[in-house]
């Protein structure tokens, strides 16, 4: 079975689901689960601009993030995790 990842920048979360293929070749997805990217000590979003994600083995995802949007479009805290590569272990 193959898994699928989808990122939400607005919610700083990732949806992980299994790809299901029936005998007619139709594709659907399992319910899956939504995991939040880590927050800071004040429970604020700090992974504001995650752009890309891929599986590294069965229990890890690796992401890349873009730089913070300028001209006051995002809180300054978004700069902390911008333009980086991040690795996360997927909890069981």
Q: How far apart (Å, rounded) are the C-alpha atoms in residues 29 and 19?
A: 5
Give the model confidence (pLDDT) of 53-67 as tens digits. 999 998 999 999 999
Whats the size of the chain, residue-wise? 92
CB 12 within 8 A of CB 60: no
Q: Over 90: is that where the pLDDT of 46 sits? A: yes
The model's pTM is: 0.84
Quote the CA–CA distance of 45 and 80 in Å, as a whole number: 11
Q: Would you list the domain boundaries of the chain? A: 2-89
Confidence band (pLDDT; 50, 70, 90) for 1?
Answer: low
């Amino acid at each position: 079975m193959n898994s699928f990842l989808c990122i939400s920048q607005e919610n700083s979360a990732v949806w992980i689901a299994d790809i299901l293929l029936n005998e007619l070749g139709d594709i659907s997805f399992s319910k899956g689960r939504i995991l939040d990217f880590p927050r800071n000590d004040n429970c604020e979003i700090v992974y504001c601009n995650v752009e890309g994600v891929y599986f590294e083995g069965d229990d890890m995802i690796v992401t890349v993030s873009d730089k913070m949007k300028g001209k006051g479009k995002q809180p300054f805290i978004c700069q902390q995790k911008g333009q980086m590569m991040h690795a996360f272990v997927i909890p069981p």
